Each structure stands twice: as C-alpha cells, then as structure tokens.
Amino acid sequence: MAFLLCLGLLLADLVTPFVGAASPKSWSSMPNRCAAGSNCVVPAEEHWLLDWSPPELASLTIRGKLEWDRGIDDLQLTAGYVLVEGKGTLEIGTESQPMSNLATINLTDAQASPHPTLGSRFLAGQDKAQILMHGRPLGTWTLLARDVAQGESEMELKEDPRALSWRIGDVIGIATTNRGRTQPYKIVDLGPAGSKTVKIDPPAAADYWGGWRPIHHASGRSSSPIKCRLYVN
C-alpha cells in the first residue's frame, strides 16, 4: 500500500499544470518588458497574454504561462528559438476553445548563440513543460466535382467548403492528374451560401480531372470494352 501511495504521488507531480495568476498580464501593456533582440523570459508563476506581435527576439524562454489571444487574427511571434521549460506552458487554443484565427511562430537566426543542448531555431519543451496547440476543426481534403481547365479560377467541389471550415485566405493544393508538382493556390472567394464553389488565385496552372469519368478498357478475354466510372480528384 505504501508503494502504491508513493507511486500515486509521483504521477501527480509529473502532471502538475502551471499554477499562477488567474488573470493574465497583457503583453502589449508592457512593451518594454522584452526589447527587440533580447533574450525574453516569462518568469515562473507569471501568466502573460500574447495580444500583440512583439519585436523580433533573440530567444523566448517560458517558465510560467504564455497564452495566445484567441480573439486577435494574424498575431506573430518571431524569435531565434522558443523554449518552454520547468512547469511552463505555451497555450495556443485549447480543445474546448480552439484557435480559429491565424497564429504564426517565426523561427529566425536572430539568437546570439545556440542553446547548449537543443541547438538553433527550434520550438521545444523540456522538463515538465506543456505545449498546447488546438486549431479550428478542419476538413483537410475533398474531391473535385468537375474538371478544372488550365486558366480557370473557379472550381466546384464535392463538398461545401464552409462545412469543411475553409476560409478566404486559406492555401490549398490540387493533386495533379498527370506527372508534375502540386502547386499551391489561395482561396480568394467562396461561392454563395449553399454552393460548393471556390475561386482561386493564381488561376489553374494545368488541367485537372474531376467528377465521374468513364474508363474504357479492352478485356483480355474478348474485344468488348469494359465500361466503368472513376471518381478522380
């Protein structure tokens, strides 16, 4: 019984979350806390809210908690590296409150010197740290409902892009029908509500097959063709 009790205490210690101030400090209200090019530290027991895009840092070490503001779009954190250590927490959305806006972490070569064990340009956690990232629920792929010709800017999908949580500004790729590299396209418009169309930029760089297509194949046993339909994307 004593052994089980000790084991229970050990496990509880391993998963102890960050404990600190209930209300986070707004980082934008203390812009001089971490100057450009500095080695910035979120101290243990402190809870910061990332509600602005701070200047480029040499490094950011999180020993307390850094929470990304879910209500602001296109915030950017730029640093040579980001290290979460001790019982620190980096939170970019939670399972119950996912991040629905664009959040970007840029890792540069700005650090004065590499970390002694982890090197350069990394996002990492060590010790009992937590890195929590939960984005919006997203359908990551679908099929083309019809062919898309080279030069076309509108394509029809098999599913409603809104039901997939696709948005204007998202970047998608279209699988090539022939050999070649998949090119990224930006969604610049969604069709009317209830439609399944999106507009892309740049226009399609090649022809893409979509929808049902009859395939004729001569059987080895007879000269009669076999007709089938293939849904291609």
Rg of the chain, C-alpha, whole Å: 25
pLDDT greater than 80 at residue 184: yes
**Mean pLDDT throughout 200-228?**
72
Predicted confidence (pLDDT) at residue 20 exceeds the cutoff of 60 = no
- Going edge to edge, which strands form the sheet with 47-50? 25-26, 47-50, 65-68, 89-92, 130-133
Is 68:75 a contact under the CB 8 Å cutoff?
yes
Tell me if the pTM is above 0.85: no
| % of the chain at pLDDT higher than 70 | 82
Which 3-state string (H, E, C) describes 166-183? CCCCCEEECCCCCCCCCC
What average pLDDT does the segment 185-212 reach? 94
What pLDDT sits at residue 182?
84
Residue 219's pLDDT is 57
Residue 125 has pLDDT above 90, yes or no: yes
Identify the pLDDT of residue 102.
92
Dist CA 119 CA 111 (whole Å): 10
Q: Which residues pair with 228 in a beta bridge?
A: 215
pLDDT-based confidence at 3, cuts 50/70/90?
A: very low
Assess whether pLDDT exceeds 70 at residue 76: yes
Identify the pLDDT of residue 218.
Answer: 60
